[in-house]
Chains A and B, each alone.
Chain A
Amino acid sequence: MSHIQFEKRILKNGLTVIHHLDTNTPFVVVNTLYKIGSKHEHPTKTGFAHLFEHLMFEGTDDVPYFDGPLQESGGENNAFTNNDYTNYYDIVPDINAEIPFWLEADRMVNLNINSSSLKLQKKVVIEEFKENYINPPYGDIQHLLRNMVYQKHPYQWPTIGKNILDIQNATLKDVKAFYQHNYVPDNCILVIAGNIQQKITFEWAEKWFGHIPKSSFVEREIDSEPTQTAAREYTHYADVPQSMIIIGFQMPRRLEIGYFEADLLTDILSSGQSSRFHQKLVKERKLFSEIDAYITGSIDTGMFVIEGRLHESIDIKVAEEAIWHEIFKLQNEGISEMEIEKVKNQMMTYMKFSDASLLNKAINLAYFEMLGNVNLINEEANEYEKITADSTQSFCKKYLNPQQSSTLYYLSSTCK
């Protein structure tokens, strides 16, 4: 893999700054990651981290409209929140590279939070909730599944929140406290990537962020999820045209042994036309119109999910047995060298094409730094290389077993 060069420094106030030079582009990315996600939320105040992400665009006294100066610079920006963190990115032509430094530093301390902006963004987020999780068919799968796989860990709810009520109930006081506690330099990683010299990056980081006071941030302990010992199942009826079966398993943490095996196993099972599920369950046995296996990629105990949509005439029990048949077969008969090589080669190409994007590189640098080792950006390819057919088979035996499964029967109400 081509090596990604970077330089890391920590300012006196605890802000981590990482620089990556790429002279192949006329753009600079400023990526600001706050180590705050929906897993840090209180179980009765869910959806908060994401709601707050919306509020971060509500302006300050100096910059009443955050997007304005970026658009005038010829740039773009956006943000996303997940269970583990919140990430903001600004992409600007290199001639205007200092603009995002100014804007990001400004909104880290001077954000205007008032009841009218809160009221408005609650409305927007409620529309987002409806658009993605209530109105579309099967939109509530993540809500139902997480609630089964996690009994204790806050991964129990999706980033959008448990329900609309939690969002409605958010108070100005909560929002202000949340901002003061989490949006601080020592809980933040700043990555500057693109056509900008290292010296300038650190000079500007100091100039714009250096005066922000350190906060003595203390990370909150999160309950770890106890290992599951008995199968869980739940039947849900909905007004959808076809039934689905979703099987979730707890899986290793992001930095725990087994994570890479899990990732490659999902490819063996369901990536592309030559995958096992596609060949056997879609094409030969004609049970599913679509079936997918994926991992959530979470920092703490993650989810390994198999989810398939059945053809109308198929009995869900038959479909379920067929999935288990494929899992048991892999556990008993193993994986061929050719098959493991295939998914590893696919992974290498995927990683290289991903590295061709400046924004991906910037986000990945911030992400790996958050995991505690920014060097992983260059080391992970080797980690995937080391995975063997045997270790993937062992992973499958250990984690994909019925006692540790959560099965969601998502049935079309026409089956009732």
Chain B
Amino acid sequence: MQVKNTPPRIQALSAPVFKLPEHHVLSNDISIWGFFDDSQEITRIDFVFDSGKWEEKAPEIAHCVAKLFKSGTHLMNAFQMSASIDYLGSTIKAYAGYHGFTISLYTLRKNIFPSLELLNDCLQDNIFPENEFETYIRNTNSKLIVQEEKTEFLAEKSFRNALFGETHPYGYIPDKQWVERLNLQEIKEYFLHQVQNKKPTIYIAGSYDHQVIQEIKQLFAQKQYAKPLPARQHLIYSNPQFHFELNKKGSIQSSIAMGKRSINKMHPDFAKLSLTNVIFGGYFGSRLMKNIREDKGYTYGIYSALQTYRHDANIFIQTETSNEYTRSCIEEIKIEINKLQQELISNRELSQAKSYLLGKYLSRIDGAFSQMETFKNYQIEGLNIHSFNTFAKTIQAVSQQDITDMAQKYLSYEDMYQITAGN
């Protein structure tokens, strides 16, 4: 008879610590942050401009600029440009976040130099041809018509609009009305002022050497940058109406979006609230998942997220459920909020969530590419990377009572937005 093995003991995780990257400063004050890892012959370089959606004159401009980043120069049309980049096996992508406009290069180590040159050509000499702009508008409109058929899209759109206002950078999500009103002039202006003439911060991860740093210096140290324009101001217009029912004919499921404005990473409660969110709906073992999926079977998945931005934040609860369960699902969400506000959570549940979240922090420093991503996102959000270490330590110290306090302070549903889209 086989003797049964004793289950292994689970070791507690220590708080992960972020190791500072290598730092070069160019003569014109541009920073290069380096995350070296030679185990693969691959490299990623990101150029981040402090602009993003926040510096748009109107919604969708920054996204359109990003999509047209490789649309052609005086020397190469869009096809030739893409073919040249693809031929090197490289990828160049531009992305407009809320506060950062990012151009990323993914390349084999051996092709860094020609790839960087192509990236720089796009950056210095993009001519935004009329036909490329028209193709973009035509296809984006067409895709958005399909999006509008999805209940999940409708619910999230309505949620963001209600929270921050229809044109606020945090408040809109891609919509036909914004795409149709775009014109090439404002695209070019945004590119000129918010990308081309703005000083980038440069992040490099993977395999590189001194020569690569030199090459980047060559490309960027010569340029003199004008004093940046003052940052835009955006007023938040929250809708005074909290509940919306969007009817989508023929749909057999409904999307539910709930939540409210919250605190961002600058706030002293951030680490505590983020752990509270994990317990509430932030992982597979959360209250929402255990009750609404694993006990009631109302949904394939339900989650809540604490979404933070440089100037604001929000809690966002999302799920899809058969139309007949919609009411019950919302009721159960409320029950879970109440429970978290009124009953002290067990030590076991607390420590499980802590370990899970510390494991998440550990994965954010797992390898050069993750480290770069984490470091960059902290900087874009306006934070010092030391906050990373502080958060990890704070999480370890959160008490049972803290969770109750956080739930009372930040999760009350009386002023929560509640959107359903379905039938």
Binding site for B on A (CB under 8 A): 2, 24-27, 62, 65, 67-69, 71-76, 91-93, 95-96, 98-99, 101-102, 119-125, 127-128, 130-131, 134-138, 207-208, 211, 239-242, 271-274, 279, 282-283, 286, 289-290, 309, 311-312, 338, 341-343, 345-349, 352-353, 355-356
Chain B interface, number of residues (Cβ within 8 angstroms): 68
Closest residue of chain A to B363 (Cβ to Cβ) is A27
A–B complex contacts, Cβ < 8 Å, 29 sampled: A26-B362, A67-B284, A67-B285, A71-B283, A71-B284, A71-B285, A75-B356, A95-B11, A99-B8, A99-B10, A101-B8, A119-B297, A127-B297, A127-B300, A208-B5, A241-B145, A241-B148, A241-B149, A271-B86, A272-B86, A273-B78, A282-B139, A309-B142, A345-B86, A347-B89, A349-B42, A349-B90, A349-B107, A356-B367
Closest residue of chain B to A1 (Cβ to Cβ) is B41
Choose among B87, B149, B367, B369 the residue that contacts A342 (Cβ–Cβ < 8 A).
B87
B257: interface (CB < 8 Å): no
When distances are taken between beta carbons in the complex, the residues of chain A under 8 Å from B351 are 72
In whole Å, how far is B135's beta carbon from the nearest beta carbon of chain A? 5
Cα of A134 to Cα of B423 in the assembled complex, Å: 14
B352: interface (CB < 8 Å): yes
In whole Å, how far is B298's beta carbon from the nearest beta carbon of chain A? 7
Instruction: Please determine whether A124 and B297 come into contact, CB atoms closer than 8 angstroms.
Output: yes
Instruction: Please determine whether B362 and A102 come into contact, CB atoms closer than 8 angstroms.
Output: no
Instruction: Please determine whether A131 and B146 come into contact, CB atoms closer than 8 angstroms.
Output: no
Cα of A258 to Cα of B209 in the assembled complex, Å: 40
In whole Å, how far is B310's beta carbon from the nearest beta carbon of chain A? 28
Choose among B11, B81, B139 the residue that contacts A96 (Cβ–Cβ < 8 A).
B11
Cα of A338 to Cα of B142 in the assembled complex, Å: 33
When distances are taken between beta carbons in the complex, the residues of chain A under 8 Å from B26 are none
Cα of A259 to Cα of B106 in the assembled complex, Å: 26
Most A CB within 10 A of own CB, among B2, B86, B108: B86
Instruction: Please determine whether A352 and B10 come into contact, CB atoms closer than 8 angstroms.
Output: no
When distances are taken between beta carbons in the complex, the residues of chain B under 8 Å from A72 are 10, 351-352, 355-356
Task: Evaluate whether A349 and B89 lie within 8 angstroms (CB atoms) in the complex, with A124-B297, A272-B82 already known.
Answer: yes
Instruction: Please determine whether A102 and B366 come into contact, CB atoms closer than 8 angstroms.
Output: no
List the 6 shortest-distance A-B pairs measured between CB atoms, nearest first.
Answer: A74-B359, A123-B297, A345-B89, A289-B142, A273-B82, A128-B300
B23: interface (CB < 8 Å): no
Cα of A242 to Cα of B146 in the assembled complex, Å: 8
How many CB-defined contacts (below 8 Å) exist between A and B? 188
Cα of A120 to Cα of B295 in the assembled complex, Å: 7
Cα of A102 to Cα of B285 in the assembled complex, Å: 19
Binding site for A on B (CB under 8 A): 2, 5, 7-8, 10-11, 13, 37, 39-42, 70, 78-79, 81-83, 86-91, 106-108, 131, 135, 138-139, 142-143, 145-146, 148-151, 250-253, 283-285, 293-295, 297-300, 320-322, 351-353, 355-356, 358-359, 362-363, 366-367, 369
When distances are taken between beta carbons in the complex, the residues of chain B under 8 Å from A74 are 13, 355-356, 358-359, 362
Choose among A120, A207, A239, A271 the residue that contacts B5 (Cβ–Cβ < 8 A).
A207
When distances are taken between beta carbons in the complex, the residues of chain A under 8 Å from B83 are 274, 338, 342
Instruction: Please determine whether A240 and B252 come into contact, CB atoms closer than 8 angstroms.
Output: no
Instruction: Please determine whether A137 and B149 come into contact, CB atoms closer than 8 angstroms.
Output: yes
In whole Å, how far is A101's beta carbon from the nearest beta carbon of chain B? 8
When distances are taken between beta carbons in the complex, the residues of chain A under 8 Å from B367 are 24-25, 356
Cα of A75 to Cα of B149 in the assembled complex, Å: 37
In whole Å, how far is B299's beta carbon from the nearest beta carbon of chain A? 5
Beyond known contacts A73-B11, A120-B295, A342-B87: 20 more, CB 8 A cutoff: A65-B285, A71-B356, A74-B356, A91-B363, A95-B13, A121-B297, A131-B300, A134-B252, A137-B149, A137-B150, A239-B250, A241-B145, A274-B79, A283-B131, A338-B83, A345-B89, A347-B89, A348-B108, A349-B42, A356-B369
When distances are taken between beta carbons in the complex, the residues of chain A under 8 Å from B88 are 345
Closest residue of chain A to B361 (Cβ to Cβ) is A74
Instruction: Please determine whether A2 and B79 come into contact, CB atoms closer than 8 angstroms.
Output: no
When distances are taken between beta carbons in the complex, the residues of chain A under 8 Å from B285 are 65, 67-68, 71
